[in-house]
Structure 1
Amino acid sequence: MGYIAHFREKDGAEQSLSTHLIETAEIARNNGQSIGIPTLCYLAGILHDSGKYTQKFQSYLLKAKAGEEVKRGSVDHSTYGGKLIRSQKPHTKYELMAMEMIANAIFAHHRSGGLLDFLSGEAAPTSPFIERYLREDLPEFDQVKKRFYREIMPEEKLQLILVQAGQELETLAKARGRITRTDQFYLLKVVYSALLDGDRRNTQLFEMNEPYQEIDRTELFRTLSQRLEATFASFKTGPDTVINRLRQEMADACLVASQRPTGIYSLSIPTGGGKTLSSMRFALNHALAQGKKRIIYIIPYSSIIEQNAAVFRRELADVNREIILEHHANLVQDEETWSEENEKKQALMQDTWDNPIIVTTMVRFLENIYGGSTRNPRRIHQLLDSVLIFDEIQSIPPKCLSMFTSLINFLKDYGKTTTLMCTATQPTLAKRKLPLQLSADAEIVPNLENTNRAFERVKVIDHRRKEGWCAADLSSFAEELLTKERNLLMILNTKKAVREVYQCLKESDRVVYHLSTAMTPAHRNQVLEEMRKGLKAQKPLVCVTTPLIEAGVDISFSCVIRSISGLDSIAQAAGRCNRNGESSTPQPVYLVNPVKELENIDKMPEIKTKAAITELLLNDRNFLKNDTSLLDLQLMAQFFDGYYEQVEKTGESEYLFNGGAQRLFDLVQKNENRKLFYRNSKKMEVPTFLVSSSSTIAKHFKVIDQQGESVLVEYGEGEELVSELSSSADVVLNKAWYQKAQQNSLNLFRHEFDQLVQEGMIRLTAEGVYVLINQGYDQEFGLNIQGDSLLSYGF
């Protein structure tokens, strides 16, 4: 009989199992080429669905094709490939390592929790991987082996390819002295990603009846570079000012630096210095010089994805949105169990990071590596042989430092990936416990101190007072300033404080705007555009906002009030004041200390710690006796050193779980505590060569604490998107729809999500998308937990 892997929905055509295994293996091989493990990835691909050779699975598939009701995930086919590779005989530790990587990737390729723990990361001293790896009662296993050896390759050839896979790992080890436990963790992730992508992509191509094509982006990157060069050439015709000359010098420095070898570099362009386009100039030309495959632009908050993507689209003429992908969130929920239908759905999803340029967030970037599901890790191999641009890198959560740094170092050492750390306020990451391996002469901006001083267009004024500032006081102070200034930006640390001060100011006749992360990206962008028009027309206005506006939002106010925070945030706030040198004299940035009743940051440890370090500097008159600017680079470095020393001392720089008893990063590394626990409890050595606990990491890892779900909001354009979702089940597979939906979505905290579900404000559609109904969203403030939005009354 002919064994099948899939059947096509539209015409019932069948894909043979041998074809699926061979074609998946070839894609997986290509995915692993950049990192030097193509054969290892090929083996994972060729074996992954061998369990479909069972008579039981073939019957399951034929019943599903005939329209009969079948129980999803009722037939295991993912264990067989792992068992098949285990049946081979390893001759070296590298072959053993390869076997365990292949088996785990295959076991997990339909598992919502991702890779299995080699050692359970918590609780019982078990090895979930070994429990499956050593399973003896696998039905039809002997028949599966015979059919695989007959249809795909003889056992002797499988053994030979395993030797080659082991040799690949040995070559990597010799080049670096050894493959550390941390490296083993990331290499396994790459194998897993290569397999997931090979499997889903081959399924997608079969469903669409299209051939697999490798993509060479050299000509595309050359074209994009030429388009961007035309923009930089046009800048030279602008006003000949000191600022414009410095912007051009820094942009030119990026062009020269793009010819440097693969490495980790810093780009410390002062706020307003043209960092967005200059960093892309570096990336495009570096991609051409070093043959990179992709550019990934990573920002701290989803609030500015659409802004940066819009800039790139405009300058790179991405009219049809085929070049740049914005990835805000995973809107469509993953199925908990495997099914043929779900595999096809995942295969057709449009957020696989195939585009030449990706714009995403730090949350999404890190969750690809450390999170669960099978959609996140499918993107990991896309990080290889790429250029990563981290915008506002100082915003990385301290608990993620070790995991972030080890990943970036690995991508440089193994993945031929270049990383560019962009910010006006560079954190001192090369001096941490686990140092970032910056390249020699890492800084791209020449004469950095002189350039930074030339860009200072503000005067930071310590306006704290002993009794603190309440909402009414801040409103009155704003009114006072507006008698002298054209407009005003007030940045406060919490949404509660922003809302209260906004409401106080609304009682006056002022034009007042509100911004916060409680609003969808599309809604925020609408408000920002309206403000920009008002500022350009020199209309008097006030904006009260959370710190989201500090992360790269291109806007300029006459005056800024900033509640006390980290010196890095203060510098970013200052970058929204007199940004383009509208005033020839420095404009004021006032630092204020809101009362606790207005702005309580006790549950925001990062902001609280940074604010405390800033206040120490403000109170140290040695820094200020010579009228030292608070934005001085040496002072900024001292701030970061003080901050990181503090968080390393308190443990805030570690991702702790189980009540602070364990470090998540230990599960990536040698995992000594869990090894010892296993050894003492079982009175035997750990039975695997690999020891990481990927599943436990995925269970606990969240870049943002209490992060809940992404929801599509029934507001503005979102109403039409929800309507389209209701009318067509396939709309989630439409790239244009999915991109718009992300711009009209919110990422909710878990407590917010749970409360809204309880109050009936959120519903889950048949397509797996959570929708926030319009009563849960307010046209002024965004998310409305109370569900008493004016929208519900038709206003």
Structure 2
Amino acid sequence: MLIAKTRPEMETLKEHTDELLKRFTVLKNAYSEKIPEYKIWDILYKAAQYHDLGKVNNDFQGKMHKALKTNEAVHPSHFGHIPHNYLSPFFLPVSSWDLSEEERRVLVQAIAYHHERNTKPDVSFLTKVYQEELLNHFDEIKKEMELSVPDKNQKKFKITNPLKPKDRITEIKDGRDTYYLYILIKGLLHRLDHAASAHIPVEVDTNVNIADLTHNYMQENFGERSLRPLQEYTYQNQNKNLIIIAQTGMGKTEASLLWAGNDKTFFTLPIRVSLNALYDRVHSDMNYKNVGLLHGTSASHLDKNGDEDWEIIFDQSQNFSNKLLFTTIDQILKFPFKFKGYEKFFATMAYSKVIIDEIQAYNPWIVAVLLKAIEMIHKIGGKFMIMTATMPQIYLDELADRGILDDNTIVNEFVDESLIRHRISLQDMGIYDDKDRIVEMATNQKVLIIVNTVDRAIDLFKQLEGENVHLLHSRFVQRDRALLENEIKRFADEETNGIWITTQLVEASIDIDFDILFTELSTIDSLLQRLGRCYRNRKLDHENSNVYIYTDDVSGSKYVYDEDILNLTEKYLLAYDTKLLSEKNKVELVKKIYSKEELQGTKFYEQFNNAVHKLNYLEDYQYTNDEAQEILRGIQSVTVIPRVIYDEIIDLLEALEKELNSQDRTRLRREVDNYTVSIPKHKYRSERTPIDLYQTGKDGRKYNILPNVEILDVEYDFDSETLRGIGLSDKQVSENSFILD
């Protein structure tokens, strides 16, 4: 009996292979129209049949039978451990198949690298193992696996030549046809293998039409003539790539889903909170229960929702099984880094659509990655939509340079000139200097203040502090931040007046509508997002300014926002001082400020061009999956638990330290997340210490249960009853507090 796995339960090699073949049938039936070439499916089927046959080696089978305590005797191997994926190709009877030399290379390498190893295959050593050990298993393979094996006349170079590390397939070396065939075979083999190993479907709801679900929902709730112009446009152009610039209130989410049609769709957003809200909307309001959610804390959100099947949804989301998946870009669009195993992500794009919402929210380095990803999606046969409020002209220029703006790609703008929502007033002073006006206006209006840094928000809160003054920023622990986010939404919806001081946190993640906005100058794309929190869907109904922009003593002007873009923004806004700002004006401002002509010589343009160049000449397999993900996340933060809260939850942490059950440990870990907060890496360096809690693993070694979380010895101020406090302060805890050395 040939064994493939012992955990979570024993599975024979035949059973595991059959699970792959079942999923192969699902994949082929669902997407053979998207990938119509018969040869691709034929080679993929062979890869699935033979991918794990290297597990027949004596060392692997000996360990399996020992772990299961069977009575089956396995002859010991003097070769020791050998990665089974390097051995599997030796069982391919390629001489009896009608394969070209390039197709044979693709098949051998797809199998040999379906697990990416740090060690490269040693062809002479593998040949010796084949001759002295693997040949003895041919009859066993034929009998138990019911597969053909090579005859003795098959020349071994047909397998060994493609196995040589220097012969590994790349786009630059091998050309487009061989490269894309390799991507599809290896990437889809990954998908089949991962889904079979996890015992989950490789695809869910292949026959569900997302556009029909959305359209039916809108008709039931808004009547027969429910589609707005933007929504009608995307619904009618499902077969095109779309770049849509559209203002707030156009129904962009529904428009995106209507474009998805009957295709597998990844819907990306930069903000996790926004993704959670979209997931809840589709899952609950539209009643589509198989929608997926995938980001760094998605398991916690799914669990909190109380859905009995949340673990199934999470597993399917991790394996891209869902027809519709809401996700962050770092989970799915990292394949431009060509990290080890990237083929799984890239191959999935061949039959998928990708929606990139609010592209202007990303920094120039990340946008360069996204534009490269769009180019790769375009080349492999997938489709993309960029749905955004603002689209810098240099990004459109870059897509044009890459040949993406062809007959299959439409760029269009949707603005409602009849809805004028803002009159701006530029103030040549610091926002501190206008406190009296802010306080006066808050007596009978909802006032929103947005500043560029947390420290500025806290200082302003202290100066304005009163019963009707509230504070929200990113330096509250997750539990308290959630309370404040709910409170600001409640405040915006009710008949009450007062002041909320916040940061760019509210630009995209929180749907609120205030009467007046006081804001520090920020870059035009950020500033327009801020304007969207004031008179969100209302026509300006008076002659006064409802947005005040402060251009002096601007916080974060060197390290939060690009100083050149700030200066350009102020320069172009001067023409609209005390004037109405239409939606068309906003679109034109972004085009002018982010044009090549204006950006020449700026740090922003230099960063963008450097990133584009680096990605264009990136060598394959430089990075691991985790490294690529970290780069794309742009992680410049560290997760901490304030000391005062750490002391309060020590029982929870000790329970986590003692818990051995993996599911219960995951549940406790998510509970701990509620008491954490992310802070910039450069901040509070001397006040951070590791958490000294360890658990013993199955290998006998101790490991830290929270390796990426630290204790922060800084005062934390928040009252959950009154929802008041400043969160993390700049003050270290008092000398009487216990501090680790």
Shorter-normalised TM-score: what interval? Answer: 0.7 to 0.9
Write out per-residue CA displacement over residues 585-641 of structure 1, whole angstroms, 9 at most, x where no aligned residue. Answer: 365212223526xx234234x64343233133246x5x8899775944223211222
Q: What residue identity is the alignment partner of 1:310? A: D
SS, match of residue 243 in structure 2: strand
CA drift of 1:138 comes to: 6.8
Q: What residue identity is the alignment partner of 2:631? A: K
Report the equivalent of 1:120. Answer: none
Maintained 8 Å contact 1:329/1:364: no
SS, match of residue 66 in structure 2: helix
Report the equivalent of 2:218. Answer: 229
Maintained 8 Å contact 1:270/1:455: no
Q: What residue identity is the alignment partner of 1:195? A: L
Report the equivalent of 1:198. Answer: 192
Cα distance in 1 between the residues matched to 2:649 and 2:2: 45
Report the equivalent of 1:491. Answer: 450
Write out per-residue CA displacement over residues 552-601 of structure 1, whole angstroms, 9 at most, x where no aligned residue. Answer: 532101111222222121111111111131752365212223526xx234
Give the counterpart of 1:456 among 410, 420, 425: 420
Maintained 8 Å contact 2:690/2:710: no
Cα distance in 2 between the residues matched to 1:490 and 1:79: 58
Mapping of residues 550-699 of structure 1, within 5 Å: 550-551=507-508, 553-581=510-538, 584-585=541-542, 587-593=545-551, 595=553, 599-604=555-560, 607-618=562-573, 631-642=585-596, 650-654=605-609, 664-668=614-618, 692-695=620-623, 699=627
Cα distance in 2 between the residues matched to 1:158 and 1:646: 65
CA drift of 1:154 comes to: 1.9
Mapping of residues 495-506 of structure 1, within 5 Å: 495-506=454-465
Q: TM-score, normalization: structure 1?
A: 0.69
Maintained 8 Å contact 1:511/1:540: no
Maintained 8 Å contact 1:394/1:425: yes
1:362 aligns with 2:329: yes
Cα distance in 2 between the residues matched to 1:648 and 1:477: 36
CA drift of 1:188 comes to: 5.3
Maintained 8 Å contact 1:331/1:769: no
Cα distance in 2 between the residues matched to 1:752 and 1:627: 40
SS, match of residue 5 in structure 1: strand
Q: What residue identity is the alignment partner of 1:147? A: H
Q: What residue identity is the alignment partner of 2:23? A: I
CA drift of 1:16 comes to: 1.6
Maintained 8 Å contact 1:79/1:132: no
Report the equivalent of 1:278. Answer: 255
Report the equivalent of 2:68. Answer: 65
Write out per-residue CA displacement over residues 396-434 of structure 1, whole angstroms, 9 at most, x where no aligned residue. Answer: 33123443223223323424x332211221233331274
Maintained 8 Å contact 1:309/1:326: no
Report the equivalent of 1:80. Answer: 86
Give the counterpart of 2:267 among 297, 318, 327: 297
1:418 aligns with 2:418: no
1:437 aligns with 2:404: yes
Mapping of residues 78-477 of structure 1, within 5 Å: 78-81=84-87, 84=90, 94-95=102-103, 98-99=106-107, 101-102=109-110, 105-108=113-116, 111=117, 131-132=120-121, 134=123, 136=125, 140-142=129-131, 143-144=133-134, 147=137, 150=142, 151=145, 152-155=147-150, 191-205=185-199, 215-219=204-208, 221=210, 224-225=213-214, 227-230=216-219, 232-233=221-222, 251-283=228-260, 286-287=261-262, 292-293=263-264, 295-318=265-288, 322-329=290-297, 351-367=318-334, 370=337, 381-415=347-381, 417-428=382-393, 429-432=395-398, 434-435=401-402, 437-438=404-405, 440=407, 448=414, 451-465=415-429, 469=430, 472-473=432-433, 475-476=435-436
Cα distance in 2 between the residues matched to 1:782 and 1:761: 24
CA drift of 1:264 comes to: 1.6
SS, match of residue 562 in structure 1: strand
Write out per-residue CA displacement over residues 447-475 of structure 1, whole angstroms, 9 at most, x where no aligned residue. Answer: x3xx332233011222234xxx26x4365
Q: What residue identity is the alignment partner of 1:563? A: E
Q: Structure 1 252/528 Cα, relative in aligned 2: closer, same or farther at 3 Å?
A: same
CA drift of 1:439 comes to: 5.8
SS, match of residue 255 in structure 1: helix
Q: What residue identity is the alignment partner of 1:602? A: K
SS, match of residue 577 in structure 1: coil
Give the counterpart of 1:731 among 643, 653, 663: 663
Report the equivalent of 1:540. Answer: 497
Larger radius of gyration: 2
Cα distance in 1 between the residues matched to 2:190 and 2:668: 24
SS, match of residue 242 in structure 2: strand
Cα distance in 2 between the residues matched to 1:383 and 1:547: 32
Cα distance in 1 between the residues matched to 2:385 and 2:295: 19
The structure showing larger relative contact order (alpha-carbon pairs under 8 Å, at least 6 residues apart) is 1
Cα distance in 1 between the residues matched to 2:684 and 2:177: 37
Give the counterpart of 2:468 among 510, 523, 526: 510
Maintained 8 Å contact 1:349/1:733: no
CA drift of 1:262 comes to: 3.0
Maintained 8 Å contact 2:469/2:499: yes
Write out per-residue CA displacement over residues 625-667 of structure 1, whole angstroms, 9 at most, x where no aligned residue. Answer: 99775944223211222466556985311465xxxxx954144
Q: Structure 1 477/260 Cα, relative in aligned 2: closer, same or farther at 3 Å?
A: same
Write out per-residue CA displacement over residues 754-779 of structure 1, whole angstroms, 9 at most, x where no aligned residue. Answer: 87863538878877785567988764
Report the equivalent of 1:683. Answer: none
Q: Structure 1 159/269 Cα, relative in aligned 2: closer, same or farther at 3 Å?
A: farther
Q: Structure 1 180/269 Cα, relative in aligned 2: closer, same or farther at 3 Å?
A: farther
Give the counterpart of 1:758 among 689, 694, 704: 689
Cα distance in 1 between the residues matched to 2:102 and 2:380: 16
Cα distance in 2 between the residues matched to 1:629 and 1:179: 51
Write out per-residue CA displacement over residues 233-265 of structure 1, whole angstroms, 9 at most, x where no aligned residue. Answer: 2597xxxxxxxxxxx66x354235323253320
Q: Structure 1 304/441 Cα, relative in aligned 2: closer, same or farther at 3 Å?
A: same
Maintained 8 Å contact 1:82/1:106: no
Q: What residue identity is the alignment partner of 1:527? A: L
Q: Which deviates further from its counterpart, 640-649 or 586-595?
A: 640-649
Maintained 8 Å contact 2:282/2:291: no
Q: What residue identity is the alignment partner of 1:528? A: E
Name the % identity.
17
Q: Which deviates further from its counterpart, 304-313 or 722-731?
A: 722-731
Q: What residue identity is the alignment partner of 2:691? A: G
Maintained 8 Å contact 2:468/2:497: yes
Q: What residue identity is the alignment partner of 2:504? A: P
Maintained 8 Å contact 1:460/1:629: no
CA drift of 1:266 comes to: 2.4
Q: What residue identity is the alignment partner of 1:665? A: L
Cα distance in 2 between the residues matched to 1:381 and 1:732: 35
Maintained 8 Å contact 1:265/1:443: yes
Q: What residue identity is the alignment partner of 1:491? A: I
Q: Structure 1 522/455 Cα, relative in aligned 2: closer, same or farther at 3 Å?
A: farther
SS, match of residue 283 in structure 2: helix
Gaps of 5+ in 2: 71-79, 159-170, 301-311, 696-702, 719-724
